[in-house]
Structure 1
Amino acid sequence: MKHQKGLENAYVIKDSKKLRMGYTTGSCAAAAAKAAAGMLLTGDLVEEVALMTPRGILLHLLIEDIRMKYDDNRKVKEVSCAVQKDGGDDPDATHGAFIYATVTRQERGITIDGGKGIGRVTKPGLARLVGEAAINPVPYRMIEEETAKVCKENAYQGGMKVIISVPEGEKLAAKTFNPRLGITGGISVLGTSGIVVPMSEDALIASIRLEMQTLTAQGAEYLLITPGNYGEAFASRMHKLNRSTEMKCSNYVGETIDMAVELGIKGILFIAHIGKFIKVSGGIMNTHSRNADCRAELMAAAYLRAGGEADTARRILSTYTTEEALDLLVHSVHSEEDMLEKTMEQVCEKVEFYLKNRCRDRIQIGAILFSQTKGKLGETSEVQNLMEKINRGEI
């Protein structure tokens, strides 16, 4: 019979698909610590532990790779064991990794640290101090509480030292945000609920916020923000632009602006592909296609405002990509006019209006728009001023 972990009926529906939930590295670390502490004090094997997560889901996790060390009197002096991470149907870099806890006795108190494969904080602004292991507050508390419960159940009055490690952690960290956050040497032990919700928007937005907090803690006042890899690649070709405050916002343009206002950022310069920011020209602040599209409609509207004629506008409405629409602008019947430039002026005007509307003019904000085939298409009115301030504010 297949082992029941407690998540058999835990799932979410995304795009009409049933996606299985999983459990966090924090839950794995807490369960491994609980098992190791129990084996240290009793000498008995613990092959499964029950763990109540902050979300209220009771997990039953298997304990693997148990190793015990003994002193000269055959008393257990150290226990190491692991729990394998199950991220459910979330595209999680740590899915399948083994999260280890090594537990030894000490005179008093419970201390927790990171070993091999657990990252170290090197920049201020994160949940842990510079130099500490990247074990976030909720997982840290879970490890501490589970270890303390075992001590109490066994009437043990001394202390314990818990070392969390992930043998493949340094390799896995390259697939996470850690290098951008200044966390070196491995992964972070994460989780606020103990449960992984597949493709959680909250988790993505939280990671954007964390990166922004890190930059502000280092003194950044003006940020360079790209939605994704296209924007990052385009920015990298702007050799006179200081990119030390660069970060990504994915589709979450509105949420990113809100965070910047809340954290006291003075200005944002977006560098974005037209396929993303044509949507912003219509006030769409989450640019994922499942929320809204309207790319062709917005491009056609901008073209008409620029003085374009109806036939080309109808053809723009039939396009599937913004690059295709741009080609129509270049070959517009207004051959004596640069309709691409005039249309992009209209687009940038609307982008600026909606960006400023979102931040209520509480920060300086601007955008550079580009295309993969045609390069820079246009910019909003405050771009040059923002670039000067970004270039003066290297961190």
Structure 2
Amino acid sequence: MARPAGSGGRDAQLKHTGLRPGWTTGACATAAATAAYTALLAGEFPDPVTITLPRGQRPAFALAVEELAADGTAATAGVVKDAGDDPDVTHGALIRATVRRLAPGAGVVFRAGPGVGTVTRPGLPLDVGEPAINPVPRRLMAEHLDAVAAAHGGGAADAEITVAVDDGEEIARSTWNPRLGILGGLSILGTTGVVVPYSCSAWIDSIRRGVDVARAAGRTHLAGCTGSTSEKTVAALYGLPQDALLDMGDFAGAVLKYVRRHPVDRLTLCGGFAKLSKLAAGHLDLHSARSQVDKPLLAELARTAGASPALAARVAAANTGLEALRLCQDAGVPLGDAVATRARDEALTVLRGSRVRADVLCIDRAGAVVGRAEPA
């Protein structure tokens, strides 16, 4: 568990949101590697161990594991990840770093231990075959080992760091890693070292890496899907492989903005009618806590699709988006197509200036298509 030390930015976040930030897997691995290398050079583990994050915070981490080889060639330290108040699947995971001495001039090299994945597909910021330890955590660990070496009268560190995560392979099944071609476990992530509660930065980062991997595989048609049902629908309709399917969840804006900068020929958005009606209303975050179904807009779209004034009034008064849809279906009014078309037009607004063609599929809870807008 980490304790803040001089974390002014973190305190400001606490006051602003009332939620407790946490620490990334990269920060935890850095703390564990720093403690292990210190023990290797000094014969004892610092506990707690303090590190410096990219934005200057200096958190202190308690050690859960301390193991020093009898011959003095290797040391292992472990830190339990504290994700704060964020619903992070890696919260509570034990992250271990084993550091071994290398010959002078070898520098710092990285290995994947049990529970840390290996990159098997191009498109990620790491070469195929590399352990899934991202560039910023690598730099952070190397800098801290260099500082430890300097503090003990040496030059740059020459060491091998093996990062492991207890039960990491099982935890990784709940992440994007298998789809991205990261096999065998989790990724060691983090650009700032801090987990901001409910920022969903890891999910958005996974969306971006999904686009990168798909493009590297030569995919020209991608689909942003709100869940597993929409994935099955769009895969069945278009025969798209798994690496062309982006689990966008509620983050339609994240998909659209990244694809605008990293274009493909075609992007299909597929999701529940109610969620995509929020995109039709101009919302790029489709979460129920941050956007709501706009009933007056549904009534307006129903009118443009041929609904009578009486039906439009019933749509405006509907309890849910699904009820509004069923009212129009019963009357033969294609509200689903109208919503899909408006959602596609909103998507094209975000995609402006790119060559991407966009289309939208609205589905019901069973996965049946209830609204469609063709590519434009």
Report the AA paired with residue 184 of structure 2: G
Conservation of the 8 A alpha-carbon contact between 1:279 and 1:298: no
Seen in structure 2, the aligned counterparts of structure 1 residues 374 and 33 have a Cα distance that, compared at 3 Å, is closer
Partner of 1:335: none
Alignment CA distance shift 1:246-1:83 (3 Å) = same
Q: What count of residue pairs does the alignment treat as equivalent? A: 369
Shift of 1:293: 2.2
Deviation of 1:243 after TM superposition, in Å, equals 3.2
Partner SS state of residue 223, structure 2:
strand
Which residue of structure 2 lines up, in the alignment, with residue 187 of structure 1? 186
Percent identical among aligned pairs is 31
CA distance in 2, matches of 1:45, 1:283: 54
Residues 113, 162 of structure 1: 8 Å contact kept: yes
Partner of 2:77: 81
Question: Which AA in structure 2 matches 1:150?
Answer: V
Q: 1:67: which partner in 2?
A: 67
2:75 partner SS: strand
Partners of 2:111 and 2:162 within 8 A in 1 = yes
Contact 2:22 2:82 in 1 (8 A): yes
1:219 equivalent in structure 2: 218
Write out aligned runs for 1:373-384 (5 A): 375-382=368-375
1:78 CA displacement:
1.6
Asked whether the 8 Å contact 1:10–1:21 carries over to 2, the reply is: no
In terms of mean alpha carbon deviation, does 22-31 or 295-304 score higher? Answer: 295-304
Asked if residue 122 in structure 1 is aligned to residue 120 in structure 2, the reply is: yes
SS of aligned partner of 1:20: coil
Q: Secondary structure at the match of 1:140?
A: helix
Most deviating of 4-13 and 106-115: 4-13
2:26 match: 26
Contact 2:275 2:293 in 1 (8 A): no
Query: Are the aligned partners of 2:253 and 2:285 in contact in 1 as well (CA < 8 Å)?
Result: yes
Point out where structure 1 has 5 or more consecutive residues left out of the alignment: 333-337, 384-395
User: Which residue of the other structure, out of 126, 148, 151, is the alignment partner of 2:149?
Assistant: 151
Q: Of residues 133, 138, 141 in structure 1, which corresponds to 2:131?
A: 133
In the other structure, the counterpart of 1:57 is 57
320-329 or 86-95: bigger deviation: 320-329
* Post-superposition CA distance 1:52-89 (Å, at most 9, x none): 11122111111222111123xxxx22211111111001
Secondary structure class of the residue paired with 1:55: coil
For residue 350 of structure 2, what is the aligned residue in structure 1? Answer: 358
Mapping 1:273-352, distance limit 5 Å: 273-332=272-331, 338-339=332-333, 341=334, 343-352=335-344
Closer/same/farther in 2, CA of residues 4 and 184 from structure 1, 3 Å limit: closer
| Larger mean Cα displacement after TM superposition, 180-189 or 224-233 | 224-233
Residue in structure 2 matching 1:96, options 84, 87, 92: 92
2:234 is the counterpart of 1:235: yes
RMSD: 2.4
Unaligned runs of 5+ in 2: none
Note if 1:370 corresponds to 2:363.
Answer: yes
The answer (yes or no) to whether the contact 1:55–1:195 under 8 Å persists in 2 is: no
Aligned residue for 1:255? Answer: 254
Distance 1:3 1:302, change over 3 A: closer
Q: In the alignment, which residue of structure 2 is the partner of 1:386?
A: none
Q: Which segment is superposed worse, 163-172 or 243-252?
A: 243-252
Aligned counterpart, 2:166: 167
Structure label with greater radius of gyration = 1
Q: 1:289 to 1:49 in 2, by over 3 A?
A: same
